[in-house]
């Protein structure tokens, strides 16, 4: 089952570190946590995908939900450290889930959402 940790940064960025499986079994618990994050109206959400083992359509739906919510407010959703499995999944959907991708969280400080 998948899990997540949430880190709120002072600049309004929220880093969501996902781990394990993002599938139908874990989707309800993950969505509840994501809904809470979205109520905080972050300026940027970064999904750290380095520890994701598997992503199903249920996991993709959660990421798309975050992107839709943030894009309505002119904000962005970024993928960080997508492992090969995650890269294949997002390439298959034409990277519709993210506004940008960065190699790892170390690049976050240089990332400019409007750039």
Query: What does the block give as tokens for 51?
Result: 């520890």
Q: What is the average pLDDT value for the chain, to the nearest integer?
A: 89
Nearest to 60 by CA among 84, 39, 31, 36: 31
**Mean pLDDT score, 22-30:** 89
Tell me: the pLDDT tens digits for 37-50? Answer: 999 999 999 999 99
> Regarding beta strands 76-80 and 44-55, do their DSSP bridges make them parallel or antiparallel, or are they unpaired?
parallel
Could you give the domains of the chain?
Answer: 3-105 (3.30.750.24)
Place of tokens 């506004």: 99
76 closest CA partner among 43, 109, 108: 43
CA–CA separation, 97 vs 67, rounded Å?
7
Longest distance between any two alpha carbons in the chain, whole Å: 37
Query: What is the pTM for the complete model shown?
Result: 0.89
Residue 104: alpha-carbon gap to chain centroid: 13
Q: What is the pLDDT of residue 1?
A: 59
The string of pLDDT tens digits covering residues 67-100 is 999 999 999 999 999 888 888 888 888 777 898 8
pLDDT band at 27 (very low <50, low <70, confident <90, very high): confident
């Amino acid at each position: 089952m998948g899990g997540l940790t949430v880190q709120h940064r002072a600049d309004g960025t929220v880093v969501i570190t996902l781990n394990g499986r993002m599938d139908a079994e874990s989707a309800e618990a993950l969505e509840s946590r994501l809904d809470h994050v979205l109520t905080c109206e972050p300026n940027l959400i970064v999904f750290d995908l380095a520890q994701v083992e598997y992503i199903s359509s249920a996991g993709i739906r959660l990421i798309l939900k975050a992107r839709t919510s943030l894009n309505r407010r002119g904000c962005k959703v970024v993928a960080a450290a997508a492992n090969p499995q995650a890269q294949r999944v997002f390439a298959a959907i034409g990277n519709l889930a993210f506004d940008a991708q960065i190699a790892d969280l170390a690049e976050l400080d240089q990332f400019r959402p409007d750039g």
